[in-house]
Amino acid sequence: MSKKLEGKVALVTGASKGIGASVALHLAEEGAAVVVNYSSSKEGAERVAGEINGNGGKALAVQANLSKEADIRRLFEKAHAAFGRLDILVNNAGVYEFLPLEQVTPQNYHKMFDLNVLGLLLASQEAAQRFGPEGGSIVNISSVAATGSLPNSSVYSATKAAVDSITRTLAAELGPRKIRVNAVSPGMVETEGIHAAGIAEGEFREQVEAKTPLGRIGQPKDIASAVVFLASPDASWISGQSLLIAGGFRG
């Protein structure tokens, strides 16, 4: 049976761990060659790329800080040098900090907006220039926070609301070039990040699960399978959509 993404090339930003790593692995399972981007976790990215290559796929780990324009340009140049084409971009790289209003600073604001919004825009700009005449697919990783009302998340939620808006706008703008743009909006997902933040267990998780109709938080694979669908020909007439993947939780 042929794989959905055979012969395609995908670039996944922030793919050394968590949702990004799972997305890279699932894209490779469907036949795509994958550029595994990382900012600081070289070991994690090389582990993901090594797993893909070890399973008979094609992958390359490439360092780039997506909040820096020169790094973004270098990332796409290395991707093109390695695989000669680009068909799929997954804008997963992001950062979050939850702070009450009185602790919000310009530095905190720019840290999140420069990566979560500007980095996503500039990466999409590069991808759109490199997709072939047959078009391509951009999948943005948003968040339930974009439409929820989570206390202490004013800046982070604003970045993800921007991601949803950009998704709709670019879908309209790039559609005539056969480029589809969609987003997925995860709820709470069990990743290295939430373990590091100390919220993988305890009261916060219990509160989320109590408000989630399906009764659990997500796993990276729950998000990855939806990204693969949106990137694939199965979603060839879907664009400008943001798919909430949160077990029924609405924030």
- If pLDDT is split at 50, 70 and 90, which confidence band does 158 have? very high
Give the mean model confidence (pLDDT) for residues 42-58. Answer: 98
Q: Are 231 and 27 in contact (CB under 8 A)?
A: yes
CA atoms of 31 and 56, how far apart (whole Å):
10
What's the pLDDT band for 218 if we cut at 50, 70, 90?
very high
CA distances from 149 to 62, 112, 152, 157, 185 (A): 36, 18, 9, 8, 14
pLDDT band at 128 (very low <50, low <70, confident <90, very high): very high
Domain contains 163: yes
1 pLDDT higher than 80: no
Any domain includes 3: no
pLDDT the model gives residue 197: 73
Q: How far apart are the two ends of the chain, measured CA to CA in Å?
A: 40
Per-residue DSSP letter, 118:
I
Residue 246 — φ and ψ, nearest 5°?
A: -150, 20
Confidence of residue 201 (pLDDT cuts 50, 70, 90): confident
Range of the domain at 189: 9-244
Determine, yes or no, domain membership for 251.
no
C-alpha dihedral sign at 111, 117, 123, 126: negative
CA distance 136 to 244: 22
Q: Write out the two tokens for 165.
A: 């808006």
> Tokens representing 249?
């939780």
State residue 26's pLDDT score: 98
In a domain, 123, yes or no: yes
Question: Are the C-beta atoms of 4 and 27 separated by less than 8 Å?
Answer: no
Q: Of residues 38, 96, 109, 156, which has the active-site annotation? A: 156
Dmax (CA) of the chain: 56
- What contacts 131, CB < 8 A, 6 or more positions away? 86, 87, 177, 179
Q: What is the pLDDT of residues 168-194, one digit of tens each?
A: 999 999 999 999 999 999 999 999 887
Is 156 one of the catalytic residues?
Answer: yes
Q: What is the pLDDT of residues 55-108, one digit of tens each?
A: 999 999 999 999 999 999 999 999 999 999 999 999 999 999 999 999 999 999
HSE, side-chain direction, 13 A CA sphere, residue 243: 20
Residue 249 falls within a domain, yes or no? no
> Which H or E run contains 131?
none
CATH number of the domain that 86 lies in?
3.40.50.720
Site of tokens 């072939």? 132
Does residue 250 sit within a domain?
no
The domain total for the chain is: 1
| Whole-angstrom distance, CA of residue 191 vs CA of residue 104 | 25
pLDDT value, residue 198: 75
